[in-house]
Structure 1
Amino acid sequence: MPNLYWYFILIFGSLLLFVFTLWKSFIPRARAILIFFYIGGLAYILEYVIKVIFRSYDYFPHILENAWFDSLFGATISQGIFVPTVAMCIVAFGINTLWVIGICILIMGIEEGFIRLGIYEHHWWKTIYTGILIFIGFNMAKWWDRMLINRKPWVDYVNIYLLLILFSNMLVYLLTSIWLSHLFQVGAFKNATRDSVFTEATFIFIHSVAVSFLLQRKWKWYWFLVLYLIDWGLITLFEHVGIIQFFHFWNPALYALFPMAVALFVNWLYYRLIISCKKRLT
């Protein structure tokens, strides 16, 4: 069976679980979705550290020619879709610790199965590390659900920040892996793709700190125009000093549209999802 089929099975299973969880959830659906994004955002940050920086493991879905982009596709399915969906399910149905341990063991078994199938490999990583981290992550999901109920302002900030880095990185991944729109180059790693992923993710992490702060304060429409102009100028500077290189028809003016588009989308999500979740708790 081709490698990609196994990843499609994981996607299909995650989709079924996602839909079922939202259908039968014991908690408000908005809160369940926020749990999904919370764990997805944390998983991305963790992937940035252990996979991009320290190259802990590799996935082999064999969907893209570029090995790094191909591996990141597999990581997105595993850490960005499957694990957050399971975490959402655990919180939505109030699954207890004993069952959570059983779920962690099952996920470790799936990981070992992927290794045996040759569609995933460890470098220095161990399956037990996965079990420990997802157990911590699932309990953090339960804790985050309590934080959502408490309605602290910093909780909104974290939600917005994680939404921004998730959608921003997802968008630039599509741009670079499919259209080869641009590459960041700072020389942190010999492999050009790895160097670009690392640099752009770092830029997004820093950029999102300021944008999250402003989004939390209910942006006016003209603030998005200011964001676009600032990003346009910043990316133009990056291109001038050689930090970013554009290909085909891409240029700083076009690239700067995407941070603004993500900010607009997250702003919409903030008012339609986060605020609606708060109202249901009152």
Structure 2
Amino acid sequence: MNRNKKHYLPFFVLLFIHSSLLIYTFYKRKDRKLLFITLLSGMGICFIFEYFILSHLKAYRYKPKLFKNKDLDNFFGAIMSQAVFVPFTAIFLTAFKVGWKGKFLFAMFFGLVEKLFLFMGIHKNNWWKTRYTVTLIPIFFYIIDFWYQQLRLGTPIFHFSSLFLGVLVNGLNLMYSLSIFRKFRFGLEKWHSWEEHFKIAPIYSFILSAATTLIIKDNSGWKGICRSFGFTQIMDIMVLRTGIAKQNFRHFVINNAIHFSMIFWAVLLKRWIYKDVPKQNEKANIEEIKRASI
């Protein structure tokens, strides 16, 4: 088998399959906002998991050969596999209340895909084992089931955590997208490698997302928006003066577009989580009571 050819096609085939599951889910279900918030939470959990397992512990490496740079290529494959395919599937299973047998079958599907990727040279395990994948994915499916139910019940810690994770997903997606277009790069040494960038950039996003969440949760009006934006400016000055970011990081239009996008996204998510979803749940509960009384 020619291992030098491009291997990105299977990723786009899987993207079509799992996106179809997601589209079908949102088409069939009425609680779309609740499912979307749960999806963002699941993607956020996967981003955090992937940050430690891939960036620091180097459990495996992806080789889709879509980008010339190996680190960019690796992170593209990881994000698609862990932060897109798995959460998309989890939402489908949660929405239609698929039991343990269905969850096990999908876990086996992901295990078989991993084995196929290993055979094709698209994926390489360092210390990771396929059995870890087959074991951990069903656990993640049950976490999403539980998360969805807690959001329906209005558990405060899950509301707040969903707001944080939703903001984080948006921030990380923007950061990764701009990294691909080489708009900026983080690092600790004089030469900022892509490996360093993918270790440090998420920390920057974590801090910004946490601060934005806390501020907007407290006040989502113009006062909160201005406070959030002020914090982003302080963060940008700090990473520039410490040399963590290169000078081209301080691009007025790009930087502020990222920051305002995160802030206004946080405002919208807060409204959905704390206002729209509870009302949606009340309507759903009333409908369930009516059906039970017939």
TM-score higher than 0.5 here? yes
TM-score by length of 1: 0.91
Show structure 1 runs of 5+ residues with no match.
none
- Alpha-carbon distance in 1 for matches of 2:224, 2:41: 26
- Alpha-carbon distance in 1 for matches of 2:219, 2:27: 31
* Preserved contact between residue 227 and residue 260 of structure 1 (Cα < 8 Å): no
Q: Structure 2 matches for 1:260-275, cutoff 5 A? A: 260-272=260-272, 275=275
Q: Structure 2 matches for 1:24-35, cutoff 5 A? A: 24-25=28-29, 28-35=31-38
TM-score by length of 2: 0.87
Where does structure 1 differ by over 4 angstroms across 4 or more consecutive aligned residues? none
Counting matched residue pairs gives 276
- Report what 2:133 is aligned to: 130
* Preserved contact between residue 232 and residue 252 of structure 1 (Cα < 8 Å): no
SS for the counterpart of 1:38 is helix
CA-CA distance at 1:225 after TM superposition = 2.7
Mark the CA change 1:203 to 1:80 in structure 2 (over 3 Å): closer, same or farther.
same
1:224 aligns with 2:225: yes
* Preserved contact between residue 232 and residue 253 of structure 1 (Cα < 8 Å): no
Mark the CA change 1:158 to 1:273 in structure 2 (over 3 Å): closer, same or farther.
closer
- Report what 1:70 is aligned to: 73
Q: Structure 2 matches for 1:38-117, cutoff 5 A? A: 38-117=41-120
Supply the AA of the counterpart residue of 1:130: T
Mark the CA change 1:191 to 1:60 in structure 2 (over 3 Å): closer, same or farther.
farther
SS for the counterpart of 2:67 is coil
| C-alpha RMSD over aligned residues | 1.9
SS for the counterpart of 2:220 is coil
Show structure 2 runs of 5+ residues with no match.
283-294
SS for the counterpart of 2:185 is strand
* Preserved contact between residue 37 and residue 162 of structure 2 (Cα < 8 Å): yes
CA-CA distance at 1:108 after TM superposition = 0.5
Supply the AA of the counterpart residue of 1:3: H
Within the candidate set 1, 13, 16, 1:12 is matched to: 16
- Report what 2:196 is aligned to: 195
- Alpha-carbon distance in 2 for matches of 1:151, 1:59: 39
Task: Tell me the percent identity.
Answer: 21
- Alpha-carbon distance in 2 for matches of 1:127, 1:191: 33
SS for the counterpart of 1:214 is helix
SS for the counterpart of 2:246 is strand
